[in-house]
Structure 1
Amino acid sequence: FEIKQAKAFNLEAYKEQLAEMRVMFSSMLEQLPKKSEVPDLLVDITRTGLINGLEFELFKPEGEKPVDFYAELPIQMTVTGNYHQFGEFVSGVAALPRIVTLHDISMGPMNAATGNMTMNLTAKTYRYFDDEK
């Protein structure tokens, strides 16, 4: 009886918490690209690199990889530039309105003649399966 009474006592708080979680979930889903927005997001990532002075040696979107209720969309990249340009690129990607995460980042040695380095990385964005638009 005491357990049921405690649950009943907290019911309104639970309902409020559930409503808040639904709003947060909806807000997070808005940050995921819809299927039709993925090409524009790829352009945004490329543009962010070019604006920051990076040269793309490889930009290879891979196929969707299903994970539970969402799909990962990995993009293999190799870019050339200086350390400051890499930092600006990473910051710019983080500021994009859609969720993009960077993984497996490795940087090669600096070219003494140009002052440039090479960075290999995988960018990932995610798409909720409920959205088939």
Structure 2
Amino acid sequence: MALADFRLENLPRSAQILLFLGVAVALSYIVYSFYFQGMIDQRTALQDEIKKLETSVAQAQAVASQLPRFKEEVARLEERLAELSTILPSEKETPIVLRSVLDMASASNLKIMRFVPKPTVPRNFYVDWPIEVSVQGSYNALGRFFEKVSQYGRIINVDNIGIKTFETGTNAARTVSAVCTATTFVFREEQVETGTGN
């Protein structure tokens, strides 16, 4: 039988069914390979992308849920900074602090013999500003001066205290001579301003 003489009707019924099924399977495979497989791959890629996006959204929601807590923390820290800046004078307020130390010494009936500001020592957000103070007066007056300094609204540390007594009989108001270092702490505004800009 030549190929030109081949007719489907001449084949037995079972062969026709098998041939039809073979062609149908081949066409189904071709359509699946070129059309549906691409769609399935695209669908799988989209599902993977959706999972990644859902994970990102969940992470963003977790961060967003903590946002009020972070805002509260920032507000609390800003409040604390404002509170601390009231006890740390700014550089503009240092003459007031110096004047206050002099006034406290005078109000305590001490004679100021020497009052010498020393070079500042930079720290993270503040600087130490030591001031060498030499006074004369009674022991009680010296105690009142230290008490006034301890109750002052700004932080002032007094250290390196040296006390010498005078001989009795000279002047009752001046029985001791004291030398100390009064260190105040000055808020470095420019450090904070440049730090918040980053």
Secondary structure at the residue paired with 1:53? coil
RMSD over equivalenced CA pairs, Å:
2.4
Aligned length: 124
What corresponds to 2:106 in structure 1? 50
Q: Tell me which of the two structures has the higher relative contact order, counting C-alpha pairs closer than 8 angstroms and 6 or more residues apart.
A: 1
What corresponds to 1:65 in structure 2? 121
In terms of fraction of residues, the more helix-rich structure is 2
Match of 1:40 among 96, 115, 121: 96
In our comparison, the structure showing a higher alpha carbon Rg is 2
Distance 2:152 2:190 in 1: 20
Distance 2:190 2:153 in 1: 18
Deviations, residues 26-68 of structure 1 (Å, cap 9, x unaligned): 2011111111111111111001111110011110011221123
Match of 2:178 among 116, 119, 124: 119
Equivalent position amino acid for 1:70 in 2: Y
In terms of fraction of residues, the more strand-rich structure is 1
User: How many angstroms does 1:83 deviate by?
Assistant: 1.2
Distance 1:14 1:117 in 2: 55
Which structure 2 residue ranges, 5 or more long, are not aligned?
1-62, 192-198
Give 4+ residue runs of structure 1 displaced > 4 Å after superposition: 11-19
Equivalent position amino acid for 1:122 in 2: T
Distance 2:80 2:152 in 1: 19
CA contact 1:34–1:131 (8 Å) conserved in 2: no
What corresponds to 1:26 in structure 2? 82
Matched, 1:105 2:161: yes
